Structure 1
Amino acid sequence: MSIHDTSLQSRNTFSLPAHAAEIVSVHNVEQLVSAWESSKEKQLPFLLLGEGSNVLFLDDFAGLVVLNRIKGIELTENADEWLLHVGAGENWHELVCYALEHNIPGLENLALIPGCVGSAPIQNIGAYGIELQSICNYVDVLDLQTEKRVRLSDQECQFGYRESIFKHSYKNGYAIVAVGLKLTKQWQPKLTYGDLTRLDPKTVTPQEIFDSVCSMRRSKLPDPTVTGNAGSFYKNPTVSALVAEKISSHYPSMPSYPQANGQIKLAAGWLVEQSGLKGFSIGGAAVHEKQALVLINKDHASSGDVRALAKYVRDAVAEKFGIWLEPEVRFIAAEGEVNAVEALS
């Protein structure tokens, strides 16, 4: 369904002023294929968009923006697991609520993550000790050129930290149309982060974890419906144990998280904060005063303001700690996605 209003401002959570040449909303695979064919006929760039929660539009988009609104939740189960087959256009947080309402635990740590279900595998979303890869069963992908549907297993998705095959081989010309989740009936609470560590693992309920996660996120992270933002702007960097030890010798209270491969994951927000950048602004864009990992549209920011601020923060952290932060947010230019690191270099 073609949309008359081509403004993207309400369709990206940064609430940045940008326009597309054309916007179409699709509710099934047939409409999605039709939109793809239309873009090819008109020789327009093609961009599939969920809720715009993890994108930074650098310019007006010179092509067709397709809003994925393919819905539907199918629930089945076996002796050991609940199995969810979810349309890519479903809202992620509403899916978490759906699971709890049906007495299905396992998603509660991922509450209040903005965006659509179809975007979750691309970034391998994660929060408070859980990543999507631990509960993903499969991802259904549509080859837009052949109209063939491919089901990728969790292993085939090549998940990593904010990483997946959908950023590489299954990127241009492919669309995620559904995600399959598997949630074990032998539920074990994950209580390793923040206020969750105060909960009793013997008595805690999924609802209590959900409530605690929502409370933490609301206290630290700005509501994008009030203050434009795209959540965590940078990935948490992973460094060698030697580098981590060198930094911690100067900052004994530095948060650090040992990884299975011997490396150490650091908190990007902490690095930004220690660089003295909380509240720092360029134009209408600013570093959030409560959570330095979040860049916000404080006062009618332009894309240029956010980009300049993102570069300034990245350069400042590199100068102080010798660590180059990598954006988690996807950068969209006039013709399509561009390399975020290169855009800030």
Structure 2
Amino acid sequence: MPSFFSDYALREHNTFGFDVRARQACRIEHESDIDEARAFAARDPALAAAPRLVLGGGSNVVLTRDFPGSVWLVALEGRRIVDEDDDAWIVEAAAGENWHAFVAWCLGQGCNGLENLALIPGTVGAAPIQNIGAYGLEMAEYFDSLRAYDFETGQIVEFDDARCAFGYRDSVFKHVARERFLIVSVRFRFPKTWRARAAYADIARALAEAGVTDPSPRDIFDAVVRVRRAKLPDPATLGNAGSFFKNPVIDARQFAELAAAVPDVVSYAQPDGSRKLAAAWLIDRCGWKGRAIADAAVHDRQALVLVNRGRATGADVLALSDAIRDDVFKRFGVMLEAEPVVV
């Protein structure tokens, strides 16, 4: 039986630490809880007609106000190797599993590949929604399938890679499927032939400083953890949602015009001829690092990270992000896009 709460505080359920409340919340610890919670909500006409919000770790959301509907707190746990053939292992994890702990567990099982995504905050169920990525790797590269509860039909539905429509920090679950589905579990495919991804500058530097020339998966995992801890604030001590803006991708023509005006612009060539720009560089060049609006600030070591210094609201963070976006567009003609979902 799921646990139900009225007028529920969400401060501990969003990594920004915003002090907002939900009209109703339910904690989902077992798959059977979902049907029971859905039936409970249906008995209250006002609640049934109100919006629904699914939260895992709350690491990719900006809560701008008290939530007038029901919040579903996903606390499903469990992880296991479900299949193996000559080429790969298939590993399944419940949606409420901590992402970083899951990555570490996979390495312990010899299922290597996700080590570049170590220390990303949030849960396994949130990873496909955002198609999380870091240091040259996106989650989609190891994704196999997921199971999700369909609130419209009351059935469990399976999504393969194509149906998830993964993009750069994007998936169908950030758009048309956002309120319809609750991700229950995710499966990953780990090829038995592993190759190191250590070319990213910060990771290569960390490995070199550790004297590692032929890195193992654990070496890369440890390097990623060191780099992230040195550059990024811990949400447990300083509220944030990680990287707030996507790195913008522009076509070759626009890049040529930008590079002519700003020769030192930081960019990365893409296979289709477009260029990915470093959003942190653009923001830093506009002088925003360390600046604040009210208690919402740009982190002083990483311009991509917006932080809550203690009493910021979601509206403060949005005001800060809008000001940054406007400055970057005025100076470079490039529009930044936020990664978190705004509620």
TM range (shorter): over 0.9
Structure 1: distance between partners of 2:287 and 2:111: 43
Structure 1: distance between partners of 2:77 and 2:197: 29
How many aligned positions are there?
332
Structure 2: distance between partners of 1:196 and 1:309: 30
Structure 1: distance between partners of 2:214 and 2:275: 32
The 3 A distance-change label for structure 1 pair 62 and 260 is same
Alignment of 1:284-295 (within 5 A): 284-295=295-306
Aligned position for 1:147:
154
Tell me how far 1:304 sits from its aligned partner. 2.1
Structure 2: distance between partners of 1:39 and 1:244: 51
Of 80, 84, 92, 1:77 maps to 84
Of 292, 306, 311, 1:300 maps to 311
Aligned position for 1:237:
248
Matched, 1:50 2:56: yes
Tell me how far 1:193 sits from its aligned partner. 1.2
Structure 2: distance between partners of 1:65 and 1:163: 22
CA contact (8 A) 1:138 1:151 kept: yes
Aligned position for 1:22:
24
Between 169-178 and 46-55, report the one with greater CA deviation.
Answer: 169-178
Secondary structure of 2:265's aligned partner: coil
Of 213, 234, 243, 1:223 maps to 234
Secondary structure of 1:104's aligned partner: coil
Matched, 1:101 2:108: yes
Tell me how far 1:202 sits from its aligned partner. 7.0
Aligned position for 2:334:
323
Structure 1: distance between partners of 2:41 and 2:272: 44
Normalised to the residue count of structure 1, the TM-score between the two structures is: 0.92
Tell me how far 1:215 sits from its aligned partner. 0.8
Between 141-150 and 52-61, report the one with greater CA deviation.
Answer: 141-150
The percentage of counterpart residues that share the same residue type is: 42
Between 17-26 and 246-255, report the one with greater CA deviation.
Answer: 246-255
Structure 1: distance between partners of 2:231 and 2:240: 13
Amino acid at match of 1:82: W
Tell me how far 1:66 sits from its aligned partner. 1.0
Tell me how far 1:323 sits from its aligned partner. 1.1
Aligned position for 1:65:
71
Structure 2: distance between partners of 1:131 and 1:73: 21
Tell me how far 1:287 sits from its aligned partner. 0.6
Alignment of 1:242-321 (within 5 A): 242-321=253-332
Amino acid at match of 1:325: L
CA contact (8 A) 1:234 1:325 kept: yes
Tell me how far 1:240 sits from its aligned partner. 1.4
CA contact (8 A) 1:237 1:326 kept: yes
Amino acid at match of 2:94: G
Tell me how far 1:307 sits from its aligned partner. 1.5
Secondary structure of 1:242's aligned partner: helix
Structure 2: distance between partners of 1:226 and 1:213: 20
Amino acid at match of 1:248: A
Structure 2: distance between partners of 1:47 and 1:206: 36
Between 276-285 and 76-85, report the one with greater CA deviation.
Answer: 76-85
Aligned position for 1:341:
none
Structure 2 residue runs without a partner (length 5+): none
Alignment of 1:171-250 (within 5 A): 171-198=178-205, 199=207, 203-250=214-261
Structure 1: distance between partners of 2:191 and 2:227: 25
Structure 2: distance between partners of 1:51 and 1:91: 8
Tell me how far 1:5 sits from its aligned partner. 6.8
Normalised to the residue count of structure 2, the TM-score between the two structures is: 0.92
Amino acid at match of 1:96: V
CA contact (8 A) 1:69 1:89 kept: yes
Tell me how far 1:191 sits from its aligned partner. 1.5
Matched, 1:121 2:128: yes
Tell me how far 1:158 sits from its aligned partner. 1.2
CA contact (8 A) 1:283 1:301 kept: yes
Structure 1: distance between partners of 2:202 and 2:320: 31
Structure 1: distance between partners of 2:72 and 2:202: 39
CA contact (8 A) 2:29 2:75 kept: yes
Structure 1 residue runs without a partner (length 5+): 333-345
Amino acid at match of 2:57: E
Of 35, 48, 61, 2:37 maps to 35
CA contact (8 A) 2:6 2:22 kept: no
CA contact (8 A) 1:56 1:330 kept: yes
What RMSD in Å do the two structures reach over aligned CA positions? 1.7
